[in-house]
């Protein structure tokens, strides 16, 4: 979640034209961006894994989650979560066998103190009561304007993620999801990048307090998951993996491959910093070259994931070129990995994503359907009632289908060889060289 910028008509027009190029010129979704031409031969999809059909899923939801609202004109408009839940409901995802939608308690101060400083929690509460800025704590900035009830709204988001973690860890459900969560930039003593309390970090800290010895966190937001990494940088019990646009061109300016963990925890921070223009095929190649091997080496007991949808080509705040089809392919891969390496225990959260109508609702509906073990047909039409809701809530025309044009997204696997001149391959190799040896892996092995 980046520095706050306005929606520019010229930028939207450029991205729509660029997105049309992605879908229409090459005929190969994701075969654009750095090194696109090198991914046209020897293509494959992500490898199959354990069966994920018909999984149990607990969705943590309360209409009050939409009170996490920085106000008119702010990119993080809660309508995106409202529309995602409405789309999932209309498509039958939330009423599928094995899926429950449940309420939860807000995180109390004791839970929040697992990650956040007591002084900061008090500052958030005070700012939310008075409307006054607390700028030394990052409150009242352009990115994080103060709003009344801020503490209560942010604590509710954190409570949802902790409730999901608790339900999975205690065996009540194999999978849980909080699409209003994923606020991965918040630091121990400061708000940052639209994030007040770091709900994924609080959920992970709760897991550690309750007996977990190895927790893996995978973040596919376009921005580096800096707050979660910082919370556990010196803790060898937590593996953080983040695939994001290079910090050379995007907020928060962290997430270089050289960031591999603090003393006693080397190799437990893994960062894949991708160049602007990376599309589906190249992004999935990077994912496949790093994430499965790192997870298998770490052997987590539970997988926590953050699914910011802002790596999409239409997102106004970043520069990657994924499609909804590339994103749902990543969700399926993470689902399979949860079953392969973590005994099926999986907590999924939302995250960034600022194309409020065209991208976020479809992406997170696919996420919920995948987590339920009942993935949607990409060619399915969006329901007419949902399209009417979109028009009424946003005055925009909703997408008509759940796909951006490709039923299967293919890419060239790492073991087929790498191109040292290709910027995506350079990024992959930098990550493997920095982190893999500490995990007992050979960075050059294909």
Q: Is residue 176 part of a domain?
A: yes
d(CA 1, CA 182): 10
d(CA 310, CA 220): 9
Assign 54 a pLDDT band (cuts: 50, 70, 90). confident
Q: Which residues on neighbouring strands pair with residue 195, listed in sequence order?
A: 192
Residues 204-262 pLDDT 10s:
999 999 999 999 999 999 999 999 999 999 999 999 999 999 999 999 999 999 999 99
Cis ω for the linkage preceding 424 (within 30 of 0): no
Asked whether the predicted pLDDT for residue 194 surpasses 60, the reply is yes
Q: Is residue 141 part of a domain?
A: no
Residues 311-328 pLDDT 10s:
999 999 999 999 999 999
What is the DSSP pairing of strand 346-349 with strand 238-245? unpaired
Asked whether the predicted pLDDT for residue 26 surpasses 50, the reply is no
Q: Is residue 137 part of a domain?
A: no
Q: According to DSSP H, which parts of 218-359 are helical?
A: 226-231, 280-298, 324-341
Which listed residue (184, 185, 223, 224) is catalytic?
185
d(CA 151, CA 107): 10
Assign 52 a pLDDT band (cuts: 50, 70, 90). confident
Q: Is there a contact between 78 and 196 (Cβ–Cβ < 8 Å)?
A: no
Give the percent of the chain with pLDDT over 70. Answer: 89
Asked whether the predicted pLDDT for residue 183 surpasses 50, the reply is yes
Please give the average per-residue pLDDT across 278-293, as a whole number. 98
Q: What is the pTM of this model?
A: 0.92
Model pLDDT, residue 366? 98
d(CA 219, CA 273): 12
Q: Which residues on neighbouring strands pair with residue 101, listed in sequence order?
A: 59
Which H or E run includes 60?
A: strand 57-60
Number of domains comprising the chain:
1
Residue with tokens 């961006």: 33
DSSP 376-414: PPTTPBPPHHHHHHHHHHHS-PPPSBS-SS-SS--EE-G
CATH, residue 408: 3.40.800.20
Q: HEC string of 306-329?
A: ECCCCCECCCCCCCCEECHHHHHH
Output the six-digit token pair for 34: 């750095």
Q: Is residue 154 part of a domain?
A: yes
Q: Is residue 272 part of a domain?
A: yes
Burial of 47 (0-12, 13-18, 19+ CB in 10 A): exposed
Assign 53 a pLDDT band (cuts: 50, 70, 90). confident
d(CA 262, CA 218): 18
Domain carrying residue 409:
9-118+148-439
State yes or no: is 185 an active-site residue. Answer: yes
């Amino acid at each position: 979640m980046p520095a706050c910028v306005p929606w520019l008509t010229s930028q939207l027009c450029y991205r729509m034209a660029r997105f049309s190029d992605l879908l229409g010129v090459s005929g190969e979704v994701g075969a654009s961006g750095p090194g696109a031409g090198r991914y046209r031969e020897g293509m494959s999809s992500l490898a199959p894994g354990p069966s994920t059909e018909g999984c149990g899923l607990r969705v943590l939801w309360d209409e009050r989650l939409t009170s996490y609202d920085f106000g008119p004109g702010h990119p993080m408009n809660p309508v995106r979560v409202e529309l995602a839940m409405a789309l999932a409901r209309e498509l039958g995802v939330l009423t599928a066998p094995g899926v429950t939608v449940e309420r939860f308690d807000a995180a109390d101060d004791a839970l929040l103190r697992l990650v956040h400083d007591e002084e900061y929690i008090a500052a958030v509460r005070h700012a939310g009561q008075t409307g006054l800025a607390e700028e030394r704590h990052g409150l009242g900035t352009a990115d994080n304007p103060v709003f009344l009830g801020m503490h209560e709204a942010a604590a509710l988001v954190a409570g949802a993620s902790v409730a999901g973690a608790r339900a999975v860890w205690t065996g009540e459900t194999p999978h849980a999801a909080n699409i209003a969560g994923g606020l991965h930039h918040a630091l121990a003593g400061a708000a940052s990048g639209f994030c007040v309390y770091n709900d994924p970090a609080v959920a992970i800290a709760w897991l550690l307090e309750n007996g977990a010895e190895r927790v893996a966190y995978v973040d596919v937001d376009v921005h580096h998951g800096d707050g979660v990494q910082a919370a556990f940088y010196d803790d060898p019990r937590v593996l953080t993996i983040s695939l994001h646009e290079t910090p050379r061109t995007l907020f928060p300016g962290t997430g270089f491959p050289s960031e591999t963990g603090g003393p006693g925890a080397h190799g437990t921070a893994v960062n894949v910093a991708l160049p602007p223009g990376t599309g589906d095929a190249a992004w999935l190649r990077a994912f496949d070259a790093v994430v499965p091997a790192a997870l298998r080496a770490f052997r987590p007991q539970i997988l926590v994931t953050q699914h910011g949808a802002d790596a999409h080509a239409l997102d106004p705040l970043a520069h990657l070129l994924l499609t909804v089809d590339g994103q749902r392919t990543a969700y399926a891969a993470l689902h399979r990995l949860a079953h392969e390496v973590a005994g099926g225990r999986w907590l999924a959260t939302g995250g960034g994503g600022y194309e409020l109508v065209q991208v976020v609702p479809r992406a997170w509906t696919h996420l919920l359907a995948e987590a339920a073990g009942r993935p949607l047909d990409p060619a399915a039409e969006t329901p007419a009632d949902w399209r009417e809701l979109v028009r009424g809530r946003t005055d925009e025309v909703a997408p008509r289908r759940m796909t951006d044009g490709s039923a299967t997204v293919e890419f060239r696997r790492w073991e087929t060889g790498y191109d040292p001149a290709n910027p995506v391959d350079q990024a992959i190799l930098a990550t493997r060289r920095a982190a893999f040896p500490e995990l007992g892996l050979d960075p050059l092995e294909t």
